[in-house]
Structure 1
């Protein structure tokens, strides 16, 4: 289980306890959190689960795969150095304390 903080563009925060083996995206979806569309269902094809990892967050993330890297170039909100696809971030104890910012738009 990991505690994930989702920061909305309007400044509000939602903190969720997300159990493994979900992803950061799936944790948002099963809790009806707005801001992550996930049109492809988590297969790293659409970019509508794009998030920005908080710069102050010290959680060590898994390395980005080539397909995730490619999809991030076509997201609706600008790609940043902190961009990730939330569908590619598997929940584990290592992600406990992760803070993600939801972009202004996903599509």
Structure 2
């Protein structure tokens, strides 16, 4: 099976259970956009290049994610509302290991 189940809590506090394909090279930001879980123009502004932090989210589950890249780390250092569990959704590739991932979108700035 190439889809995984993930839970995304939107900026209004509503949790959505969605299916995310793992065979299409999609990242979390693209999943959020495809399900329209954030207002148009408020997420993925830079197109997924780790240059804007509009797709910042808080990872709520205990999944082991790949280490932050230098670009992601630098962008989060300049972003607002950053927490210890903050990640950029554009940098989280959908893989079978992320079955059950739970994230919450950071507030829009």
**TM category, shorter:** 0.7 to 0.9
Cα RMSD after superposing both structures: 1.5
TM-score, normalised on structure 1? 0.87
- In the alignment of these two chains, the number of paired residues is 103
> Structure 2: 5+ residue runs without aligned partners?
none
TM-score, normalised on structure 2? 0.86
**What is the aligned partner in structure 2 of residue 16 from structure 1?**
18
> Structure 1: 5+ residue runs without aligned partners?
none
Equivalence map 1:1-107=2 (5 Å): 1-20=3-22, 21-34=25-38, 37-54=43-60, 57-75=61-79, 77-105=80-108, 107=109
| 8 A Cα contact 2:57 2:106, kept in partner | yes
Partner deviation per Cα, 1:21-76 (whole Å, 9 max, x = no partner): 2111101111111166110111111111000111xx1221111111100001222x
Moved over 6 A (4+): none
